[in-house]
Amino acid sequence: MNENLRRLYYLFIFLSLVVLVFYLGFLYGTREKVNSAADNLTVNNPNGQILNSISQIQQRSIQGSVNSEQIETFGDMYFIINRKNQTEIVINLQRVPTSIKQAKGQATVAIPQQLRVDIARRVRDSDNKETYQYENVSLVENTLATLTLNDAQNGLRSGSFSGIIDSPIIDSNGVKSNIERVVLRPVDANIVNVFIDRDADLPLKIGGNVKANVPGQPAPFFWIKLF
């Protein structure tokens, strides 16, 4: 084999190795991309249609009171557990009056235009009594998560909020967390509701008990029961 043919032979071998290396790199990159992609499975609803991420959304009613004897519904909260094991929530508050009054008394309190969005966890206090621990849902340091109501029209207001609770309300096995409610409370702690929620599901220190002479605590202006 003469010198020119030998050079062409070695050049061919070299180029073939370069092409092979790039091809193997392409195959590896493609495999990693496919492995890291979301599952592409088609699952059908009972009605035969395709499930999507919105299919996992759950709904709860927003409750509150306009006087000390009547609980009403003031919209809905929607939530979904995302891939990061967080709870994404959307709150739509509707038909909100400007104030709450006692049914058998003169006491009234104006509903603030801005309300903080908190979660209520069931915990035990230093006396080993069950109570609620309130935490704001904001994930931004030194910034409260709040819902702001619109200006009143015909005596009623509305408002919405979207945010994230940095933990799952229900885990992947269907186990409930100790987060029992999402509540809308005054930003100003000096504003106190005239209504006390006597729901039997509440911790005794929160709902109180008239017969046992436990007074209970003023309720949030609005609350969402998760379970």
Domain that holds residue 141: 53-225
Report pLDDT for 20. Answer: 66
Average pLDDT for residues 202-215, to the nearest whole number? Answer: 91
pLDDT tier at 41 (50, 70, 90 boundaries)?
very low
42 vs 135 pLDDT, higher one: 135
What's the mean pLDDT when you consider all of the chain? 85
Is residue 216 exposed (0-12), middle (13-18) or buried (19+ Cβ within 10 Å)? middle
For residue 29, is it within any domain? yes
Report the run of H or E that residue 135 belongs to, with start and end: strand 130-136
In this structure, the answer to whether residues 74 and 7 fall within a common structural domain is no
**The pLDDT of residue 109 is above 90:** yes
In this structure, the answer to whether residues 66 and 30 fall within a common structural domain is no
pLDDT tier at 211 (50, 70, 90 boundaries)?
confident
Count CB-CB contacts under 10 A for residue 157.
19
Residues 6 or more apart whose Cβ sits within 8 Å of residue 195: 65, 67, 68, 100, 102, 218, 219
Report pLDDT for 73. Answer: 96
pLDDT tier at 48 (50, 70, 90 boundaries)?
low
For residue 185, is it within any domain? yes
In this structure, the answer to whether residues 72 and 153 fall within a common structural domain is yes
pLDDT tier at 96 (50, 70, 90 boundaries)?
very high
Average pLDDT for residues 102-115, to the nearest whole number? Answer: 86
> Total structural domains in the chain?
2
**pLDDT tens, position by position, 66-75:** 876 789 999 9
In this structure, the answer to whether residues 67 and 7 fall within a common structural domain is no
In this structure, the answer to whether residues 18 and 97 fall within a common structural domain is no
Chain centroid, CA 94 distance in Å: 19
In this structure, the answer to whether residues 4 and 58 fall within a common structural domain is no
Distances (CA, A) of 37 to 10, 34, 40, 52: 41, 5, 8, 16
In this structure, the answer to whether residues 28 and 102 fall within a common structural domain is no
